[in-house]
């Protein structure tokens, strides 16, 4: 379904945030027979519904909203509306067509788009792809899950998009290059279980992409893909890391060394994988990766990474404090822990408790010497899951500020204090940025 297909039809936009506003503006320009906006979650954080969007579509709230959705020819839901929402279940039962702004946009722009999704690494990888393409004189527009709704993007010859599982779920067209960085259970409450989450995520690949690029080293992704044709970054047949001419790790394109691993300023094997995927995408788009390897090395060296993802905070004590607040699952925390292997490590965990299974984290730490500090709400349950591991020291703190103070007592100089909470921020913080602010302030306030 394209935006032009909505002309002369009755359309209901579900959601009044940025995505909903963008959808109303875009749909109104195509002459629907009727257009209404529905918000079932209005609260004190909601923006006023006024100006051009209010003129284009009246806003309906409360239970009346469902009646307007059910009466529409097409419902355009915002990504924040979960598939498990009772209204969604009933709309499906009534066979009401439901789509998203991302699906409407992709139907018109997919042939000039690189779409990146993954349970871990999609933000860094998509950002790397966009910046490296720019360095290779391939201008592009970067958008998607980074905060700019697809329907608000300007016209361009090439797009690089970070796409969440929610945005992928309703796609009926795939991007020209479809990219998956990793796969593990996430957001299961919103998708209705692990299998549905994987289906929604991999829907990015389901509608005829020209090229599929994946992290070939990810075991669950390998199982889900089976023998499907794909460029498998991280393996010798594509871009990968292996011993280079000087005996140190280098990035390679098949048999050809490109540049040393040390050029990439980001820590962790998962970030090696992210760059392997990004380089494989450039190769798939026709960039002469080997011929321009020196220019690529300079662009990689200048890449500073993204905020709140293994962001190191300077501290005079000799302890390295690291903000990885966007690690909201046990698997993401495991990647972060691996990035500091070999150094004394204290990890602060806990946040909104979604009932996640923390046994994978227990298995991952079974042979490690590490200190884990749990904070509300899920921290005590995570600590309980680690009980009995011989080299894991566990403590509880009443909040994040107290955890930072405790970590200073428990972590020797040269060690690392890692905020990798394995849980979302909401409940006790306004958002993940607020959690980062509190962490950084606590580090500053407790500095010796």
Smallest CA-to-CA distance from 27 within 194, 132, 112, 151 is with 151
How many angstroms separate the CA atoms of 126 and 278, rounded? 7
Q: Which alpha helices (H) appear in 85-213, and where do they start and end?
A: 86-93, 101-109, 122-135, 165-169, 188-191, 194-202
Has 120 been labeled as part of a binding site?
Answer: yes
Contact in structure between 126 and 141 (CB atoms under 8 Å): no
Has 293 been labeled as part of a binding site?
Answer: no
How many angstroms separate the CA atoms of 130 and 114, rounded? 9
Has 123 been labeled as part of a binding site?
Answer: yes
Has 119 been labeled as part of a binding site?
Answer: yes
CA 376 to chain centre: 24
Has 118 been labeled as part of a binding site?
Answer: yes
CA distances, 370 to each of 101, 317, 387 (Å): 45, 19, 13
What residues contact 374, with CB distance under 8 A and at least 6 apart? 349, 350, 380, 381, 382, 383, 394, 395, 396, 397
Has 124 been labeled as part of a binding site?
Answer: yes
Provide DSSP, 235-304. STTSEEEEE-TTSSEEEEETTEEEEEGGG----SHHHHHHHHHHHHHHHHTT--TTTTHHHHHHHHHT--
Find the angle CA(71)-CA(77)-CA(81) to the nearest 5 degrees: 115
Burial 347-374 (b: 16+ CB within 10 A, else e): bbbbbbbbebebebbbebbeeeebbbbb
Tokens of 222: 């390998």
Measured on CA atoms in the order 146, 151, 156, 157, is the torsion positive or negative?
Answer: positive
Smallest CA-to-CA distance from 46 within 19, 20, 77, 16 is with 16
Tokens of 231: 């460029």
Measured on CA atoms in the order 140, 144, 146, 149, is the torsion positive or negative?
Answer: positive
Cis preceding-peptide flag for 377 (omega within 30 of 0) = yes
Beta pairing class for 239-243 and 249-253: antiparallel
Pick out the residues of the known binding site for ATP: 118-124
Pick out the residues of the known binding site: 118-124
């Amino acid at each position: 379904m394209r935006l032009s297909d909505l002309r002369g039809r009755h359309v209901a936009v579900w959601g009044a945030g940025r995505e909903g506003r963008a959808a109303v503006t875009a749909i109104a320009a195509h002459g629907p027979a009727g257009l209404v906006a529905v918000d079932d979650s209005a609260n004190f954080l909601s923006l006023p519904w006024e100006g051009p969007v209010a003129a284009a579509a009246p806003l309906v709230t409360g239970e009346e909203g469902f009646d307007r959705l059910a009466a529409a020819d097409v419902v355009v839901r915002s990504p924040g509306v979960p598939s498990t929402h009772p209204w969604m279940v009933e709309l499906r039962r009534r066979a009401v067509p439901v789509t998203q702004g991302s699906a409407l946009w992709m139907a018109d722009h997919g042939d000039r788009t690189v779409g990146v999704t993954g349970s871990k690494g999609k933000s860094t990888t998509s950002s790397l792809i966009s910046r490296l393409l720019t360095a290779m004189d391939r201008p592009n527009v970067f958008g998607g899950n980074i905060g700019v709704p697809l329907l608000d993007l300007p016209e361009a010859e090439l797009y690089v998009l970070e796409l969440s599982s929610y945005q992928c779920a309703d796609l009926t067209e795939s991007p020209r290059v479809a990219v998956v960085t990793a796969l593990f259970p996430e957001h299961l409450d919103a998708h209705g279980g692990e299998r549905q989450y994987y289906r929604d995520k991999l829907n990015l690949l389901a509608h005829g992409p020209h090229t599929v690029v994946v992290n070939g080293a990810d075991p669950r992704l390998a199982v889900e893909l089976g023998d499907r044709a794909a460029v498998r970054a991280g393996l010798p047949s594509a871009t990968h890391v292996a011993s280079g001419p000087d005996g140190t790790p280098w990035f390679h394109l098949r048999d050809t060394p490109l540049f040393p691993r040390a050029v990439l300023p980001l820590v962790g094997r998962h970030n090696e994988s992210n760059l392997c995927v990004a380089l494989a995408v450039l190769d798939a788009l026709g960039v002469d990766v080997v011929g321009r390897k020196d220019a690529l090395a300079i662009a990689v060296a200048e890449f500073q990474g993204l905020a709140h993802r293994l962001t190191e905070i300077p501290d005079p004590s000799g302890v390295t404090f690291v903000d990885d607040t966007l690690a909201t699952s046990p698997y993401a925390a495991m990647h972060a822990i691996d990035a500091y292997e070999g150094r004394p490590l204290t990890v602060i965990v806990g946040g909104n408790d979604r009932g996640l299974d923390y046994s994978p984290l227990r298995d991952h730490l079974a042979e490690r010497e590490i200190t884990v500090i749990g904070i509300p709400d899920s921290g005590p349950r995570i600590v309980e899951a680690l009980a009995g591991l011989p080299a894991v020291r566990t403590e509880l703190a009443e909040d994040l500020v107290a955890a930072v103070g405790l970590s200073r007592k428990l972590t020797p100089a040269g060690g690392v204090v890692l905020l990798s909470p394995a849980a979302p921020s909401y409940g006790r913080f306004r958002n993940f940025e607020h959690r980062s602010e509190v962490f950084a302030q606590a580090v500053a306030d407790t500095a010796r």
